[in-house]
Amino acid sequence: VGSPKLGRTPPLTEDETLERIRHTLESGTQSVDLRDDAAVVDIPGGGSLVVSVDSVVEGVHVDLSLCSPADVGWKALMGALSDLAAMGARPVGALVALCVAPGLEEGAGEGGVTLGVMEGVAEASRTAGCPVVGGDVSSGGELVVAVTVMGTVDGDLPVMRTGARGGDVVLLTGPCGGSAAGLRQLRAGGGGERAAEAADQSWAYRRPVARLREGTTARLCGVHAMIDVSDGLALDLHRLANASNVGFDLDALPVADGATPDEALGGGEDYELVMVVGPADVDALIGAFTSEGLRPPLRLGVIADDPDHRVLHGEPLGQLGWQHRLG
Amino acid sequence: VGSPKLGRTPPLTEDETLERIRHTLESGTQSVDLRDDAAVVDIPGGGSLVVSVDSVVEGVHVDLSLCSPADVGWKALMGALSDLAAMGARPVGALVALCVAPGLEEGAGEGGVTLGVMEGVAEASRTAGCPVVGGDVSSGGELVVAVTVMGTVDGDLPVMRTGARGGDVVLLTGPCGGSAAGLRQLRAGGGGERAAEAADQSWAYRRPVARLREGTTARLCGVHAMIDVSDGLALDLHRLANASNVGFDLDALPVADGATPDEALGGGEDYELVMVVGPADVDALIGAFTSEGLRPPLRLGVIADDPDHRVLHGEPLGQLGWQHRLG
């Protein structure tokens, strides 16, 4: 009865797998676009919704010896919300599917891992103003938290990855590499409950924050394209450039306190937003961020017409970053 | 750093865990209701959305030696869609979070488990008329498919579990136990690609169908309450009765061909709908099903005012069914 055939295939990268999945889904009657951070769904009766799903898996994305169940719940919801931020959407609700190993539950005491994770989800939910409207709990062999988020752009169009044009300016909401540095510090036995020193980035790793207000502010300023730094600044820059069929010429790399340039380029989970804006609109964008009390955006460089021209400090920028190898 | 405390707690049932999770989420500023099959979210700009999430975990809900990756994908989407059916909602889109063990991928040949699962998702998506609008793929220790579905009731109110009243009639869209019987037959080495005999229920197990048209037809006929048979007819009847604070007096148990009465009461994953309707509306409901070309509903009995009176054939009905023990 249809059990998997034996054989071997070369492992696919995450992007390759998504391409194959798109093909499978498109071979039917429907047309889908899974290429952006989130999808846009028209709602019968008016309005449209920006939706996305994101998973956190113990042993792959997180390590429960370095962070608490509540950290895992927080990271799962914030990671999903970051996809809404990258579209300029405001969250309206989240659904959480939780899979917990019975063995984990037994060792976890008071309330167990399930309730610990949900406490972190609830904290992130309050911080982001995104109510949890549904959920599902299963037992399983390991901890998996899959979060679906829904958002609105209030009648406006969401910001896609596809709109960057030659001559546009590339801005970033904040320095990168903090999350990777925090993970390194935690692995080395460091890191406190909250950072006592600026270079302690353990909190950036355990409690990252989706840049939701930055995203909506950027949308209202008419940015041409956005992406969030989830898998590493370099990889996510390439993804945006691929989607827009452009290149880039960057002369700045904002590195978080305590992080290395490699961590800033390849670390991921920073959730800063890359914003691409027309040169005439840069000052208005910076002004809007300032008047909203947000950190002023950092200038990375410009978009190039040539899709093969992708440089940082005059050198070609590799596709550093975090792709799952499936298989 | 906040690693789980050591200790032991008595295991919680699924319903008890959900109660604790509700408490965690409600201790904040938000009010949530996770009690029904699906949640209702108001969309800024008009309209409302019925949303639900459901997971399938290898080794817990499915066994890849008894069904194919495509079966798993089909079951995951249909199981989630059944929650929409129970609210009388029409699907508008689904998001799929997939977690696949690299070891599974390696043994699975052409395209691997990931693409196999997504082929089943795509088939179910076409059958149900529900496009897949988003997804996420992770590697992990086991196969987990978490599906979020969104639906609409076209400006109407969704059907809840809470509306049953004494004297109402309890109807069922079809006999139960087929899925459990099919699993038993597959375990015994039986079951074909499609059932050659009526008593071969392997297809009911591998390819269950959400009763979406039945659900919307029932909503348009003004049924008072509905629930889908996902964890077993007896347990789901108790859940509906708990939500409505009523009892029931049933004199019929429709058992699927090849299934036993125990499988009908406790098996689950049948996805038939329990419909509770005012006595004056029974004929209109049956007429609407007939004119829609749907199987005529089966009469189980009546709703009792006394919440402690819950009987089948004059005997108290136990809460048979499938609850995860977490921990």
What is the DSSP secondary structure assignment for residue B292, as one 8-state letter?
T
Q: How far is B167 from chain A (nearest CA, A)?
A: 32
When pLDDT is averaged across residues A199-203 and rounded to a whole number, the result is 86
Of B43, B53, B206, the CB nearest to A97: B53
User: For A168-206, b where at least 16 C-beta lie within 10 A, e where not — what string?
Assistant: bbbbbbbbbbbbbbbbbbbeeeebeeebeeeebbbbbbb
Other C-beta atoms closer than 10 Å to the C-beta of B45 total 15
Give tens-digit pLDDT for A267-291. 989 999 999 999 999 999 999 999 9
Q: Tell me the pLDDT band of A9, cut-offs 50, 70 and 90.
A: very low
Is residue B41 predicted with pLDDT exceeding 90?
no
More confident site: B210 or A41: B210
Q: What is the pLDDT of residue A194?
A: 56
H or E segment and range at residue A75: helix A69-86
Residue type, A114: T
What is the DSSP secondary structure assignment for residue A257, as one 8-state letter?
T
For A161, the token pair is 């990855």
Q: Tell me the pLDDT band of B81, cut-offs 50, 70 and 90.
A: very high
- Is any Cβ of chain B less than 8 angstroms from the Cβ of A145? no
- Which of A25, A33, A193 has the highest number of chain B CBs within 10 A, making it the mutation to test binding with B? A25
More confident site: A30 or B303: B303
Is residue B10 predicted with pLDDT exceeding 60?
no
Residues of chain A contacting residue B135, judged by C-beta atoms under 8 Å apart:
18, 21, 34, 53
Complex ipTM over 0.85? no
Q: Tell me the pLDDT band of B140, cut-offs 50, 70 and 90.
A: confident
Is residue B127 predicted with pLDDT exceeding 80?
yes
Of B8, B92, B99, the CB nearest to A106: B8
Strand order in the sheet with B90-100: B39-42, B48-57, B144-152, B90-100, B132-139
Q: What is the pLDDT of residue A34?
A: 54
Residues of chain A contacting residue B188, judged by C-beta atoms under 8 Å apart:
none
Interchain pair A109, B52: CB under 8 A: no
Residue A291: partners with Cβ closer than 8 Å, 6 or more residues away: none
Is residue A5 predicted with pLDDT exceeding 50?
no
Q: What is the pLDDT of residue A209?
A: 97
Is residue B24 predicted with pLDDT exceeding 90?
no
Find how far residue B22's CA is from the centre of its chain: 20
When pLDDT is averaged across residues A188-215 and rounded to a whole number, the result is 83
Closest B-chain CA to A186: B1
Residues of chain A contacting residue B137, judged by C-beta atoms under 8 Å apart:
14, 17-18, 21, 324, 326
Report the mean per-residue pLDDT for chain A: 86
Whether the Cβ atoms of residue B157 and residue B150 lie closer than 8 Å to each other: no
Give tens-digit pLDDT for B189-237. 876 555 567 778 899 999 999 999 999 999 999 999 999 999 999 999 9
Is residue A59 predicted with pLDDT exceeding 90?
no
Residue A138: name the closest of B76, B39, B54 by CA.
Answer: B54
Is residue B35 predicted with pLDDT exceeding 90?
no
Interchain pair B109, A9: CB under 8 A: yes
Lowest mean pLDDT among A49-53, A242-246, B95-99, B322-326: B322-326
Q: How far is B263 from chain A (nearest CA, A)?
A: 22
- Which of A36, A133, A203, A269 has the highest number of chain B CBs within 10 A, making it the mutation to test binding with B? A133
**Which phi and psi angles does B171 have, rounded to 5°?**
-120, 160
Whether the Cβ atoms of residue B261 and residue B253 lie closer than 8 Å to each other: yes
Q: What is the pLDDT of residue A327?
A: 28
Find how far residue B40's CA is from the centre of its chain: 17
Residue B266: partners with Cβ closer than 8 Å, 6 or more residues away: B180, B232, B233, B234, B235, B320, B321, B322
Q: Tell me the pLDDT band of A2, cut-offs 50, 70 and 90.
A: very low
Q: How far apart are CA B178 and CA B205, in angstroms?
A: 7
Residues of chain A contacting residue B25, judged by C-beta atoms under 8 Å apart:
118, 121-122, 125, 132
When pLDDT is averaged across residues B54-77 and rounded to a whole number, the result is 91
Residue type, A135: G
Q: How far apart are CA B147 and CA A134, in angstroms?
A: 12
Q: What is the pTM of this model?
A: 0.87
Q: Are strands A273-277 and A144-152 parallel, antiparallel or unpaired?
A: unpaired
Give tens-digit pLDDT for B261-286. 999 999 989 999 999 999 999 999 99
Terminal alpha carbon distance of chain A = 23
Q: What is the pLDDT of residue B9?
A: 44
% of chain B with per-residue pLDDT over 90? 65
**Which phi and psi angles does B107 have, rounded to 5°?**
-85, -5
Interchain pair A125, B30: CB under 8 A: yes
For A4, the token pair is 């998997």
Whole-number Cα distances in Å, A165 to A270, A279, B98 = 25, 11, 34
Q: How far apart are CA A184 and CA B290, in angstroms?
A: 65
Residues of chain B contacting residue A111, judged by C-beta atoms under 8 Å apart:
9, 20
- Is any Cβ of chain A less than 8 angstroms from the Cβ of B114? yes
When pLDDT is averaged across residues A210-221 and rounded to a whole number, the result is 98
Give tens-digit pLDDT for A78-118. 999 999 999 999 999 999 999 988 766 655 555 688 889 99
